[in-house]
Amino acid sequence: MRRIRHKGMNCYKTIKKIGEGTFSEVLKTQSLKDGKFYACKTMKQRINSLEHANNLREVQAMKRLSPHANIIQLHELIFDKETGTVSLICELMEMNIYEFIQGRQTPLSDNTVKNYMYQLCRSLEHMHSCGIFHRDVKPENILIKQNGLKLGDFGSCRSVHSKPPHTEYISTRWYRAPECLLTDGYYGLKMDMWSAGCVFFEIMSLSPLFPGTNELDQVAKIHDVLGTPDLTILQKLKHSRAMLYNFPPKKGSGISRLVPHCPGPALSLLYQMLAYDPDERITAETAMRHTYFREIRQTEKKAETFHRASGTMNGLESVETHNSFDHIWRPARPGKQLRGRHTRQTPLICHNMKHVAEPATRRNVPPRPTELPKLNLLLPGPQMSFPVSATPSFTATHRGTLPAITSKKCQPRLAEPWDDPHRAAFKSFYLPPLDRKRGGY
């Protein structure tokens, strides 16, 4: 085992190399401070300053998207001024989806596929709601650890508010949406949903859906399965300078023939994710509400209710210490083979959330103690009597209603004061003086 060479990484030692790409390499490292293992993604690009490093698109995206249960979180950024090297330290995951299914002979259970796809849709929903789309969703960039899934490698992401045309050649070819193939960069966040649909199929079938060898073959592979699109759809796309739209009419074989044992709800969601027209393609938010994920949503709702109730009880128990409900939280809604792909690599691997996101509904809640507070009574001084001449008394001679109590000094001048039937009650009765005893009444 050797230390990472540049000075900024003196607090970490390298265990082994776990991946390399065109722009970076990923190492398994161990912290010399806490002994924990991390993934270190070191950029091959030379950076001029720490400010430049913090302004890298990938770093900015990770900061904006964190914390989230399905997004990798940046643990530490290390910049070495002498070498211009930037390293991103993140949590070490077990493997990526490509490594998980590579060489597997038996298909994954429907529950496993459903669980992973729900988490992938949730990660994309969070990204898109934060104004970012990934542009390179593929099995190599989807990391898993036990039953948890996190989306990583944000080096290609863009803002949803950036105006097209975008970079033409960005996502890996096998997972590239039709609008990315047929236009000069006129695409948007829906391209992520197409890529997620391709990943969905690959997890179920253990083989890629559209393994094109080049751009033309990629389009042909799509048409073989989905058929050629209507002319109206093609007219909506801005024509590419590099490709003509003279597609011979073809009826696709359909996805169901490729995955004959696919459940109906899963097939329905898959077709909606792989809609040729991006305007008709399902969003990540809508995909999470699809019938296919009904059981997961129900389980999630029950767990949220349980944790909310559990959190309330914990808050009640701690009222003597904190005297508030400030600590009650609502649970957060929580490669190798080339063949048309970029070089397979294990991408940046993510850091555990150390902080739970504060929900929008959290406010300054008034404390609710578990028992009545004890009265802190002030002990009276020397006993004294109070004059009672200014405080009239009355007899309880009312019939069904209480008489009005008025002070003599504040008695208003009435037109006929002696007409009051209760006037006589104020003649002879007065409140006795209070005889206070020390320590109580």
**Cα–Cα distance for residue pair 351/46, rounded to 1 Å:** 24
How far CA 8 is from CA of 37, 39, 274, in Å, comes to 17, 15, 45
Please give the backbone phi and psi of residue 228, each rounded to the nearest 5 degrees, phi first. Answer: -75, 145
Residue with tokens 């508010």: 161
Query: Which tokens belong to 175?
Result: 């997972």
User: What's the CA gap between 394 and 423, in Å, rounded?
Assistant: 9
Residues annotated as catalytic (active site), given as ranges: 136
Q: How far apart are CA 164 and CA 179, in angstroms?
A: 12
Q: How many CA atoms lie within 13 A of 99 on its CB side?
A: 18
Are the beta carbons of 40 and 30 closer than 8 angstroms? no
Residue 320: its H or E element: helix 319-322
Q: Read off the tokens for 144.
A: 């898993």
Q: Is residue 114 annotated as involved in ligand binding?
A: no
Token pair of 179, please?
Answer: 């609008």
Q: Which residues contact 193 (CB under 8 A, 6 or more apart)?
A: 124, 273, 281, 282, 283, 284, 287
At position 421, the amino acid (one-letter code) is P
Angle at 419 between CA 414 and CA 423, to 5 degrees: 90
Distance CA 44, CA 320 (A): 54
**Biggest CA pair distance of the chain:** 113
Element (H, E) at 114: helix 110-129
Of the candidates 222, 220, 284, the one whose C-alpha atom is nearest the C-alpha of residue 254 is: 222
CA-to-CA distance for 150 and 68, rounded, in angstroms? Answer: 9
**148-151 β-sheet, strand order:** 95-96, 142-145, 148-151
Task: Give the count of beta carbons closer than 10 Å to the beta carbon of residue 381.
Answer: 8
Annotated binding site for ATP: 41
Residue ranges of the binding site = 41
